[in-house]
Amino acid sequence: MAKILIVDDEIGIRELLSEILRDEGHDIQLADNAATARAARNAGRPDMVLLDIWMPDTDGITLLKEWAANGQLNMPVVMMSGHGTIDTAVEATRIGAIDYLEKPIALQKLLAAVKRGLQRPQAPGAPAPLTLAAFTRSVPLRDLRRRIEQIAVSSRVLLLRVGAGSLAELVARSVHGGAPHWLDLAAVTSPLDITQLQAAQGGVLFVGELARLSRAQQKNLAFALDRLERYDLRLVVATDRSLDALLADGWDEALASRLFEVSLAPPSIADVRDDLPELASQILLHLVEGGEVPLRRFSTAALNQLRNLAWPGGYAELRAAVKSLALGTLEEEVAAADVRRLLPPDIGASSGGVSLDQPLREAREAFERMYFEHHLRLEGGNMTRLAEKTGLERTHLYRKLKQLGLQAGRRHEEA
């Protein structure tokens, strides 16, 4: 007996298909729109889905794309339509549907499609990486995805100008249609060779922060940059530094200039704060589908709690927090109390923790100490980047840190 989800806004069709398939011994779930279908899919994996294309809230093709983007298209889906076209059928198949039935649906065609779908072996392995395509309800993220796709038509290289709360990795994962091959050049410490590029063919090369690359890694970057076309690769790099700042740090001018030819300033988590509940929920769904965490869902209060945090570490920090909550929560629903209890007290910290009951001078000093501790930690003690981030001249910065009793970092000053 298989669990089959039937999604159609026409009650007569739902009841007819349900009656036929129940007589065949299947367990049937019904959904009259995409929102209900989405909730049913999130609650557990059906063995098969019969999905109508034309629905009042979200059409079936869009829902199919959403499931494919967030790693949930790991069950056979048969599309249904009373006025579809060959182009629609081809698109549905390209996305991942296994069959297409025209209404009115003949009994034998229905039973044959269901039998083929249930006999079809499911592809093993982890779901595809989470991309911007999964966030269908966020206008800023939808617009960001369109900009990336438009740039990718003409350029294989994209530089992301980022700051605190960066979504750089999520953006990079979305380039080239969420390509399966991914190589983080910042993790490659030995000389890059042709074999590694061949293994990543058709995929994406990524650097999360250019300023953290050593001289040897900069040479790897130049090596890869010259071979993007040959191996059908895309290169996405991110930095909060200017071109002049990188050149002042000793970067090769020709290399740096090539990287800065096409740039984009994507929104940060702070810029899409209203969409953070969707971000967190989709991350959780992806982790569940990948088998990394047990079945969990967020309460509305927990999502509001997450939305009110600053997330200076960006997408990576948010994903790590969601995973920690899913693994550490005992109940199926993650509550606001779990967020307060399980996340580190300084995660997503902004300017809290300064007592307002002390004299102004002491409060200001406490805030400055917290401010510089935060940025010293983010920059790994690099005083050049700290001076640029805080807008202070180096001599003044050293004097200020000494005044606050903080250790002036000198790590990573030299490549």
- The answer to which of 47-51, 91-95, 231-235 has the lowest mean pLDDT is 91-95
Q: Decide: 376 and 404 in contact? Cβ < 8 Å.
A: no
Together in a domain, 102 and 62 = yes
Q: Is the pLDDT of residue 352 over 70?
A: no
Say which CATH number the domain at 284 has. 1.10.8.60
Tell me the pLDDT of the chain averaged across its residues: 86
Say how many domains are in the chain.
4
**Residues 2-47: tens digit of each pLDDT:** 999 999 999 999 999 999 999 999 999 999 999 899 889 888 789 9
Whether 24 is covered by a domain: the verdict is yes
Residue 376 to residue 372: CA distance in whole angstroms? 6
Say if residue 40 is exposed, middle or buried (CB neighbours under 10 Å; 0-12, 13-18, 19+).
middle
Split at pLDDT 50, 70, 90, the class of 398 is: confident
Together in a domain, 260 and 278 = no
244 or 369, greater pLDDT: 244
136 or 177, greater pLDDT: 136
Taking residue 100's Cβ as centre, other Cβ atoms within 10 Å add up to 18
Q: Is the pLDDT of residue 103 over 80?
A: yes
| Residue partners of 84: CB distance under 8 A and separation at least 6 | 53, 100, 102
Together in a domain, 96 and 176 = no
User: For 345-350, what is the mean pLDDT?
Assistant: 54
Together in a domain, 145 and 242 = yes
pLDDT at 125: 54
Q: Is the pLDDT of residue 362 over 80?
A: no
Tokens (6 digits) for 15? 């009841």
pLDDT at 164: 81
Together in a domain, 260 and 282 = no
Together in a domain, 43 and 99 = yes
Q: Is the pLDDT of residue 376 over 50?
A: yes
CA distances from 251 to 26, 238, 254 (A): 64, 15, 9
Say which CATH number the domain at 82 has. 3.40.50.2300
pLDDT at 126: 59
Residue 376 to residue 136: CA distance in whole angstroms? 37
Any idea how long the chain is?
Answer: 415
Together in a domain, 139 and 255 = yes
Name the 3-class secondary structure at 324.
helix
Q: Is the pLDDT of residue 75 over 70?
A: yes
Of the candidates 68, 67, 76, the residue with the CA atom closest to the CA atom of residue 47: 76
Q: What is the DSSP string of 81-143?
A: ESS--HHHHHHHHHHT--EEEESSPPHHHHHHHHHHHHHSPPP-SPPPPP-GGG-TT-HHHHH
User: For 236-249, what is the mean pLDDT?
Assistant: 94
Beta-strand runs (E) in 134-180: 157-161
Whether 127 is covered by a domain: the verdict is no
User: For 215-241, what is the mean pLDDT?
Assistant: 95
| Residue partners of 408: CB distance under 8 A and separation at least 6 | 383, 397, 398, 401, 402
- The answer to which of 85-99, 131-145, 222-236 has the lowest mean pLDDT is 85-99
| Containing structural domain, residue 158 | 134-264
Of the candidates 52, 6, 53, the residue with the CA atom closest to the CA atom of residue 26: 6
Q: Is the pLDDT of residue 411 over 50?
A: no
- The answer to which of 253-267, 355-369, 385-399 has the lowest mean pLDDT is 355-369
pLDDT at 42: 81
Whether 30 is covered by a domain: the verdict is yes
